[in-house]
Structure formats: structure tokens, C-alpha cells
Amino acid sequence: MGIFSRKGASGFSASSTAEKVTQGIEGTGLTAIVTGASSGIGAETARVLALRGLHVVMAVRNMDAGATVKETILKEIPNAKIDVRQLDLSSLASVRNFASDYNSSGLPLNILINNAGAGATPFKLSQDSIELVFATNHLGHFLLTNLLLETMKSTSRESNREGRIVNVSSLLHQYGYREGIRFDKINDTAGYNRYFAYAQSKLANVLHANELTRRMKEEGVEITANSLHPGAIGTKITRNDCFFQCLFNVFGIFTGKTIPQGAATTCFVALHPQVQGVSGEYFVDCNIAKSSSQAKDADLAAKLWDFSLTLTNPK
């Protein structure tokens, strides 16, 4: 961690690791899905949750990479309960297949961690003809969450335990297009800026969690939804982009995190008793933080929800 690391109200800071923030927490009997668990903070999140006794389902695009992570975890934690299942979030068909298989498996679902993400890439369309970064970072997770919600609701009712949905966003959510979400220009190549597009998808992650919160409270369902910024971490997303890598090299001296530190806020929001009943919040360094004004816009969140439904409904 960089030279600045001050503890917040939670008692944790930017230098806290995922193991540290979950120390003493017993997760036996809980089941969690972690998307993008084949590398980086997703893999570390899966490892720490398994260490705390959870049954972890690794939802990964690359099954070979996922199997390698599982093998590594089992070497450290021989009694870990780990499954690896295929999921390509850029494909709505893949999301539907994953959710259908999971819902028919009979497994409960206490925690859903929407962690996987694509970086700032040149313009490209997904298999469903939707701009790839938005499709992967937001739309795939939106559909996955919706398709798994009934299983989460029944798990919460039957176990009498709160369910938790965790969206891994980014501090960059506030640095996107002026209008926030370009509803009418999602596939506009002329005005496309890959860094703004990435920020747009991260804004969508925060808005999604906030709208989920409103809907769950309206239904009286004990499921929380929160978003977070994991920190500046040298994962594949930054390593494959020269601009992000330069930023990381410059600012990482002061604010950079290791992968165990980068997974801390995710694990804190997913497991810690301090987050019991907390929903619709944005976390940084294991503490509640301020998101952008657009991220707090309830009308924008509702509009994004309806827009996302339109894009994900089978035709």
C-alpha cells in the first residue's frame, strides 16, 4: 500500500487485507458466487471466502484458469468447498445458461459478488450486438442478478439470514460521459471514448446496486445491495492498458494496493457484521464513502433498470 493509509470508522483502512477484515468471521453454511474469480481480486476473494468456510462458486470465462485457481486454493485449504462454473458475462445466452443451471442445482445462494470486468477497450460489439464494455461490466451482471434473485430470496427466507449483493465498481465511475449513461448512444462508434465507456459501466454498477436496494426494500426482502471501489491495483485490467498502467505507476506509489488489499473491501461488504442491514451504499477502503451525484440519482437508476430490462429481454 502507498504511504497514505488511515483507519476509518470501520476500524480498517486501505492497507487492510481481505484476511484481516474477515478475521474471526465464520461463514460455514453460506454459499457465495464470485464472478471473475480466475485471477486478480476475484481469485483472492474466492480464496478468503473459502478460508472462512463458505461454499464458493467461481463463475469464470476461462475454465482452465479457474481450475488452476481452485487447485491452488485446495492446496492451502484442503477442506475448502469450491466449484468452478463457466460464465461469459459478455454473452446473455451464457448468463442465462449459468443461472438456469445454478437455479436447478438446488444450491442456496447467500452472497452474489459481481466482480468480473472488462477494461477500457477499443470499440467492439458483444455477441448480442451491444457495446462490449457496457455489456460485460453492467448488462451481464444485471441479468445474472435478476435471474438469481428468486434463489437468493428463498435462501434468505429459509435460512432467516440476510442475503448480500456486492457490485465491484470503481472510483472512475464519476469520470465518464457528461450525461452519465448514454442510453441513445450505447453503440455510437463516432462518439465512443473507451475510458469514458469504462467509467459509464462502473457508474452503472453503482446505480444498479442502488435501484436493487430500493426494490428489495419495497418488497420487504432481506437482501442488501452495495457497490465499492476496490482501489488502484495492478491486475490484468491495468496491465493490458498503457494509459491505466502509466496512471498506476505514477499514483500507485501513494495509493496503490496489493491484490490481498484490493479484495478487502469486497470481502468486508460481503461478510462483515458491520454491514448487516446496510444497503445502497458505496464503499472505499472498507468504509462508507461518497459516490458521484449521478450515482445517487434515483431517476437515472430507474431509467437504467428499465433500459437494461429492454436489452436483456429475449426477443
For 38-61, how does the pLDDT look when each residue is reduced to its tens digit (9 = 90+)? 999 999 999 999 999 999 999 999
| pLDDT per position as a tens digit, 102-156 | 999 999 999 999 999 999 999 999 999 999 999 999 999 999 999 999 999 999 9
User: What is the average pLDDT across 152-176?
Assistant: 96
**Sign of the dihedral through C-alpha 262, 264, 269, 275:** negative
Number of domains in the chain: 1
Q: Would you say 305 and 218 are in contact if contact means Cβ atoms under 8 Å apart? A: no
**Sign of the dihedral through C-alpha 304, 306, 309, 313:** negative
d(CA 204, CA 210): 10
Q: Which residue has the cell 491486475?
A: 235
d(CA 21, CA 261): 10
DSSP SS3 for 228: strand
Beta strands in the chain (DSSP E): 31-35, 55-60, 81-86, 111-114, 163-168, 223-229, 232-233, 256-257, 282-284, 287-289
Active site (annotated) includes residue 102: no
Residue range of the domain that includes 100: 3-312
Which residue of the set 102, 175, 177, 192 is catalytic?
A: 192
d(CA 102, CA 122): 33
* CATH code of the domain covering residue 251: 3.40.50.720
